[in-house]
Structure 1
């Protein structure tokens, strides 16, 4: 399937049913799912009946999926998925950023690389005005990716989860980035990058 987005090291393309085995392996890793469901094992039925329909959904307001499978550009290895999903099917202006990468992909900067590229595409091509992202307060790794992507802390809150997991007592956090802030930063970076090119 045709890629949706490419970065220096990643290819992001729409999820297909052929990704089911990779998605199962991703969700069956207790370390990957630690901050999602406490690390419970996955089931192939759940991938088929719940995960795939969610990841295959096309949003009318953007004409795109909200989730993309991420693979290494050089080897084609499956790394996980990224999310840039409108919170309202009919409104492209507010989207949620997310990512779930397998253990082998963690710690190499892939999450930040993919997230930055998606955010840039959202603001330039998809009509996005505000990006929001949420995670558990104790998930320092995910919070660091949000910050490196340009999002800033907005609020801490307590969610009423049906089943508590380790760390949920500390609550959730929300980060955000508006198009205005993103555009202002991009405008500041452009002269600095141009100066760097001239200095070489």
Structure 2
């Protein structure tokens, strides 16, 4: 996987050297409010990290990156393969201290560019809870368009899940025309 650069950020392919950054990020329940509704234990983070590393080994050019703003960890950025060939799912998790500073949008644009121009994807999508306005604002800011609202069944639904999940996407043709 490539190191990606933006005007402010460097996105390094995720490695075991980034585990402590992930542990600290997932220790903030607000960061995970729309994912898990709570902070995650170190063991949970380690298990997720191991799964990400394995998935990254199987997907040429796709996977997970640790974003840095200078020397400061600025988030976990995700572009793993999607369910269909030629697709990938965009994701981002930013430390609360860096919210509303354009970090997620800037890093997402770099991942989208990488996905279309280097990997050759046809479609990049993202999903979040309908009540997660912040994440949807990032999706719109990077040129994604609303596709659908859907209502998955959850064993332990989070507050707001009754409003469903939303999906946004951008295609290679849309990216090329923007």
The reply to whether residue 52 of structure 1 matches residue 49 of structure 2 is yes
Residues in 2 aligned to 1:66 and 1:3: alpha-carbon distance in whole angstroms: 10
Q: Secondary structure at the match of 2:82?
A: strand
SS in 2 for 1:163: coil
Say what the alpha-carbon RMSD is for the aligned residues.
1.6
Q: State the TM-score, normalizing by the size of structure 1.
A: 0.83
| Contact residue 62 and residue 115 of structure 2 kept, 8 A | no
Q: Which residue of 2 aligns with 1:77?
A: 72
CA drift of 1:59 comes to: 4.8
Distance 1:130 1:17 in 2: 29
**What is the match of residue 93 of structure 2?**
100
Please say if 1:117 is aligned against 2:98. Answer: no
Q: Which secondary structure does the structure 2 equivalent of 1:107 belong to? A: coil
For 1:18-29, what aligned pairs fall within 5 Å after superposition? 18-29=17-28
Q: How many residues end up aligned between the 2 structures?
A: 177
Q: Is the 8 A contact 1:3 1:11 kept in 2?
A: no
TM-score by length of 2: 0.93
Of structures 1 and 2, the larger Rg is shown by 1
Distance 1:41 1:123 in 2: 33
Q: Which residue of 2 aligns with 1:127?
A: 120
- The one-character-per-residue Cα deviations of 1:13-34 (angstroms, maximum 9, x if unpaired) are 1112222221111111011011
Which residue number corresponds to residue 67 of structure 1?
Answer: 64
Aligned counterpart, 1:143 = 136
Distance 2:101 2:51 in 1: 27
Which structure has the higher relative contact order (CA within 8 Å, separation 6+)? 2
Structure 1 unmatched ranges of 5 or more = 186-200
The residue aligned with 1:191 is: none
C-alpha spacing 1:6/1:51, structure 2 compared with 1 (3 Å): same
Q: What runs of 5+ residues in structure 2 fail to find an aligned partner?
A: none
Q: What's the CA shift string for 1:94-132, capped at 9, x where partnerless?
A: 110000001011110010000011101111110100011
